[in-house]
Amino acid sequence: MHDAHHWKHPLPAAPKPETTQSEVNFSVQKYQDNSLAEFQENAEGRPHEECGVFGIYAPGVEVARRAFFGIFALQHRGQESAGIAVTDGTDIQLHRAMGLVTQVFDEDILANLPGHISVAHTRYSTTGSSKACNAQPILTQSSEGLMALAHNGNLVNAVLLRAEMEEAGIQFETTMDTEIIAKTIESLNDRPLEDALLETMARIHGAYSLVMMTHDTLIAMRDPNGVRPLCLGRLSNSEDGEAAGYVVASETCALNVVGAEYVREIEPGEIVFINNEKIESVFYKGLVEHREDRPALCIFEFIYLARPDSQIMGRNIHQARRTMGEKLAQQDPVEADVVIGVPDSGTPAAIGYAAGSGIPYQEGLIKNRYIQRTFIQPDQTQRELGVRLKLTPLRDVLEGKRVVVVEDSIVRGTTTKRIVQMIRDAGATEVHLRISSPPYKWPCFYGIDTAARKDLIAYQRSIEEIRQYNGADSLAYISMDNLINAVGQPKNLFCRACFDGEYPITIPHDVKFTKLVLGEDGNGNGNGSAPVSPDDPGPESSDVVVQEDAVPTPVTV
């Protein structure tokens, strides 16, 4: 059923407390979650990555502090909530709250999270609404006792599994598919943990990169298609260079900030166990009737989601995006005076387009980088201004110029239309749009929060119709072949479903699936009806607004 191999890298023994009684110190804070930043992200209509995960095993190190900086480096993957769980070998302590990483944690909180193993999480919700109870990590029982779990991805059979569990009398406390994973593990606690995790992989279908910990072991687990990224890093002892610990994270940018050296990616279908004895890898070799038997990394990681200083599949993200721009310049040239990018993810492609075309690159749009979550809500006038709250055009760069504007993607099209008009208002004589991804035609079911298919502008619209809608003088998207060439890996290693509708993991046609599919109507249907399949998009999930208590309320269990 599976293979295993062992790495010969023994780690320092963890300190063992005298007590053996397992205790949990658990705190949750609720913050008001309807904010200016949230409004802006929704108004943009951009795809959103759902989560960033981080885990560390490092005896003698302040792991909570390292975990803090790890998820701080992954903040771009989720700005809704954050949490850190730690263990000292006996106790598990967990602190999580709504808000940015720097809002959730301070020196006092970190000082009260002692231990040598930690898992941490930063979240943007896809399945499960925006509530404090849905913050992660979450706790569950296993054959090894209490364990903490953090998840990046989305299960496509979540409704079916939850219905089966509820029928069996299992109760749920959240609306997340992550709890379904946790309850599945808990239901198998009569088996050795390794076997329970392999059986869990057989039961759950979809995308998941997981970091987990028991009282003595850090665990990383990636779905058999490897849709979401997950990598392994090594902390070295400064005296002799021997391993002082290991780190797992969604992206390599989180390794650098904690002083870890990149080792490799966690392979699709791999479970890694790290403790004071060894590192052991176990691979799932189960049936594949519900999915294609191949790697299927989300190609949007290269286009938009991953941080530009990260590395995936041996390719630097910034360089890949720059190459996309170069390919696009060769594919669809235009006579112009200046090339600008839509910051931040459009900037590398714009630099590449300028290099490939010989047209000078300049910064033409300035991004307000200090807009964060706030209790001050935008009024109606600010909502109508929309993108102008976040981007400011440089008139001196744009006035009287023929401008090439490079953007990473167009999803709904509303933001792009406003950007084009804003550049014209700044005096540009022509605006030529160049998009460093193919037309976005299909919704994601694997962990990216995108619009329903009926709201995707490239669905049932030609490129010329999209150009007319956004008001540009010309519009061109990079071809799939040029995108694949820029990434530098074979096409069949990626999930490209948002562009071609070829889903590597089967989407059940009888599953009603929106952001709030596991919502609160008691039937797992969220608020209102949901899409039956990619061709039946259902209502737009962003119509639902959930507010939390304005005053932080600590809860201790």
| Alpha-carbon gap, residue 393 to 416, rounded angstroms | 14
User: Is residue 294 a contact partner of residue 493, using CB atoms and an 8 Å limit?
Assistant: yes
Rounded CA separation 127/153 (Å): 9
* The pLDDT value given to residue 6: 36
Residue 228 β-bridge partners:
none
Residue 49: partners with Cβ closer than 8 Å, 6 or more residues away: 76, 77, 78, 124, 305, 447, 448
pLDDT at 552: 30
How many Å apart are CA 405 and CA 423, to the nearest integer?
9
Distance CA 391, CA 68 (A): 29
In the chain, where are the structural domains located? 2-291, 311-368+377-500
Cα(497)–Cα(296) distance, integer angstroms:
10
Residues 12 and 35: their CA atoms lie apart, in Å, by 45
Provide the 3-class DSSP secondary structure of residue 270.
strand
Q: Give, in degrees to the nearest 5, the angle at Cα 287 between 282 and 288.
A: 105
- Dihedral of the CA atoms 540, 542, 544, 549 (nearest 10)? 170
Half-sphere exposure (Cβ direction) of 165: Cα atoms closer than 13 Å? 24
Q: Where are the beta strands (DSSP E) in 65-171?
A: 81-87, 92-98, 117-123, 138-142, 145-155
CA distances from 226 to 263, 471, 503 (A): 17, 39, 13
The predicted pLDDT at position 292 comes to: 85
Residue 48 backbone phi and psi in degrees, to 5: -120, 130
Here the tokens at position 53 are 């995960």
Matching fold, domains 2-291 and 311-368+377-500: no
The pLDDT value given to residue 253: 98
Residuewise pLDDT in 10s, the chain (557 residues)? 444 333 434 444 444 333 333 345 555 443 333 333 343 444 445 555 569 999 999 999 999 999 999 999 999 999 889 999 999 999 999 999 999 999 999 999 999 999 999 999 998 765 556 677 789 999 999 999 999 999 999 999 998 999 999 999 999 998 889 999 999 999 999 999 999 999 999 999 999 999 999 999 999 999 999 999 999 999 987 666 677 899 999 999 999 999 999 999 999 999 999 999 889 999 998 766 788 889 999 999 999 999 999 999 999 999 999 999 999 999 999 999 999 999 998 999 999 999 999 999 999 999 987 665 444 445 555 545 667 778 999 999 999 999 999 999 999 998 899 999 999 999 999 999 999 999 999 999 998 877 678 889 999 899 999 999 999 999 999 999 999 999 999 999 999 999 999 999 998 875 534 433 454 433 332 322 233 333 333 323 222 222 222 223 332 22
Beta bridge partners of 120: 54, 84
pLDDT of residue 554: 31
Contact 119, 92 (CB under 8 A): no
* The token pair that represents 347 in the structure block: 């900037």
For residue 426, the model assigns a pLDDT of 97
Question: Which residue, among 58, 100, 61, has the nearest Cα to 83 in the 3D structure?
Answer: 100
pLDDT at position 269 is 96
> What pLDDT does 133 receive?
79
Q: What's domain 2-291's architecture? A: 4-Layer Sandwich (3.60)
SS3 509: coil
DSSP string of 280-299, one letter each residue: EEEEE----TTB-SS--EET
What does residue 540 show for φ and ψ, rounded to 5 degrees?
-80, 120
Instruction: State which CATH number among 3.40.50.2020, 1.10.10.10, 2.40.50.140, 2.120.10.30 fits the domain covering 311-368+377-500.
Output: 3.40.50.2020
Closest by CA to 120, choosing from 144, 90, 151, is 151
**Degrees (nearest 5) of the Cα angle 472, 474, 476?**
115
Distance between alpha carbon 504 and the CA centroid of its chain, in Å? 19
The predicted structure's pLDDT at residue 556 = 29
Residues marked as catalytic: 51
Q: 185, 148 in Cβ contact below 8 A?
A: no
- Residues 104, 97 contacting (CB under 8 angstroms): yes
Count of CB atoms within 10 A of residue 139's CB?
17
pLDDT at 24: 52
Q: What is the pTM of this model?
A: 0.84
